[in-house]
């Protein structure tokens, strides 16, 4: 069982980044309370584009990522972000190789 990571870029509609971040709250809470195999789930603001947020996610396994991605909370998040986002998130799935904390 090897770890898997995700880097996601989410672009908000012009001026909607704060609302988009607030809409992420239920998912952030869900991950913390209900996903023990989600190792890291970090929401960050882009420093050069005021409409972009980035998610860095690390999972204990591909199965943990699949459980996260198919959760009811993820489906609800998609609906909550739809009126705030300027399109679908750009998702990159990676295999962590080496690093501090890995």
Instruction: Assess if residue 9 is contained within a domain.
Output: yes
Nearest C-alpha neighbor of 69 from the set 101, 21, 31: 31
Count of domains forming the chain: 1
SS3 label, residue 26: helix
The pLDDT-based confidence of 53 (bands split at 50, 70, 90) is very high
Q: What is the pLDDT of residues 20-50, one digit of tens each?
A: 999 999 999 999 999 999 999 999 999 999 9
> What's the predicted TM-score (pTM) here?
0.93
Domain of 86, in residue numbers: 4-94
SS3 label, residue 20: helix
SS3 label, residue 73: helix
DSSP conformation letters of 7-24: EEEEEBSTT-HHHHHHHT
CATH number reported for the structural domain that contains residue 67 in this entry: 3.30.70.100
Instruction: Assess if residue 71 is contained within a domain.
Output: yes
Instruction: Assess if residue 14 is contained within a domain.
Output: yes
Q: Which helix (H) or strand (E) holds 97?
A: none
């Amino acid at each position: 069982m090897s770890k898997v990571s995700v880097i996601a870029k989410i672009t908000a509609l012009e001026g909607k980044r704060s609302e988009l971040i607030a809409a992420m709250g239920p998912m952030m809470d869900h991950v913390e309370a209900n996903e023990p195999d989600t190792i890291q789930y970090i929401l960050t603001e882009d420093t050069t584009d005021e409409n972009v947020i980035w998610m860095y996610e690390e999972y204990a396994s591909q199965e943990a990522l699949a459980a996260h991605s198919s959760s009811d909370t993820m489906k609800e998040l998609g609906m909550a972000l739809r009126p705030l986002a300027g399109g679908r998130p750009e998702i990159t799935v990676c295999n962590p190789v080496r690093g501090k904390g890995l």
